[in-house]
């Protein structure tokens, strides 16, 4: 498969994943203040331009998730850098989605991981060294190394605790965008169906 075919496959996969999310009203409850991004990398990704993501992120409109724009290359910086860094430890992980994190969602995700036999992870930002916490865009290698070290590999579901000016967020990782959207949808449905 040549580069153009790979790029077309990634974009098509992202469009399918966005459609799944937009058809799931339950997922609107998991949209954080910073909104959601869904990203998928080419197998040879080295920079954010090699990663396609939803342009403008995913928000909620009339109770449904809604993509602000179409998937395009270079549309995400944070999720793109996360996926590129993760792939240094596990090159089967090409896609990621972020979503809201609070105590109730943590409980739902822990139970989901236990049932599915998936490692549940978290990044404790309180131990983040000053030299990577201060400058923008310099903490990603440190964060992903913490995950890989603490969990003997990269967990497919993890959350990042609060940091100065940072909203706590979950990240689901997988082989492609449809897979991670499916994970997020299943968690959203469990979250909305929980008692109380």
Q: One digit per residue, pLDDT tens: the chain, 196 residues?
A: 788 899 999 999 999 999 999 999 999 999 999 999 999 999 999 999 999 999 999 999 999 999 999 999 999 999 999 999 999 999 999 999 999 999 999 999 999 999 999 999 999 877 777 777 655 667 899 999 999 999 999 999 999 977 656 789 999 999 999 999 999 999 999 999 987 6
Under 8 Å between Cβ of 184 and 32: no
Instruction: Tell me the C-alpha distance between 179 and 167, whole Å.
Output: 24
Rg, C-alpha atoms of the chain: 16
DSSP letter string over 5-67? HHHHHHHHHHHHHHHHHHT-GGGGGG--TT-B-EEEE-TT--SGGGEEEETT-EEEETTEEEE
Task: Indicate which CATH number applies to the domain containing 82.
Answer: 3.40.225.10
Q: How many CB atoms lie within 10 A of CB 29?
A: 16
Domain ranges, residue 20:
3-193
| pTM given for the model | 0.94
Domain count, the chain: 1
Q: Give the closest residue to 56 by CA, choosing from 71, 68, 39.
A: 68
End-to-end CA gap in the chain: 50
């Amino acid at each position: 498969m040549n580069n153009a075919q790979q790029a077309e496959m990634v974009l098509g996969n992202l469009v399918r994943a966005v459609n799944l999310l937009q058809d799931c009203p339950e997922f609107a409850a998991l949209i954080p203040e910073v909104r959601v991004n869904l990203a998928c990398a080419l197998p040879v990704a080295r920079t954010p331009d090699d990663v396609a993501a939803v342009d403008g992120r995913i928000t909620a409109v009339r109770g449904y998730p809604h993509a602000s724009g179409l998937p395009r290359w270079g549309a995400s910086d944070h999720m793109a850098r996360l996926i590129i860094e993760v792939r240094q430890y596990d090159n089967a992980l090409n896609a990621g989605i972020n979503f809201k994190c609070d105590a109730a969602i943590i409980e739902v995700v822990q139970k989901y991981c236990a049932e599915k036999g998936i490692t549940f992870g978290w990044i404790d930002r309180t131990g983040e060294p000053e030299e990577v916490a201060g400058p923008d865009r310099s903490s990603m290698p440190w964060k992903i190394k913490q995950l890989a070290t603490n969990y003997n590999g990269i967990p497919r579901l993890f959350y990042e605790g609060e940091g100065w000016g940072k909203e706590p967020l979950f990240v689901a990782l997988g082989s492609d965008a449809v897979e991670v959207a499916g994970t997020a949808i299943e968690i959203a449905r469990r979250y909305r169906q929980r008692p109380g």
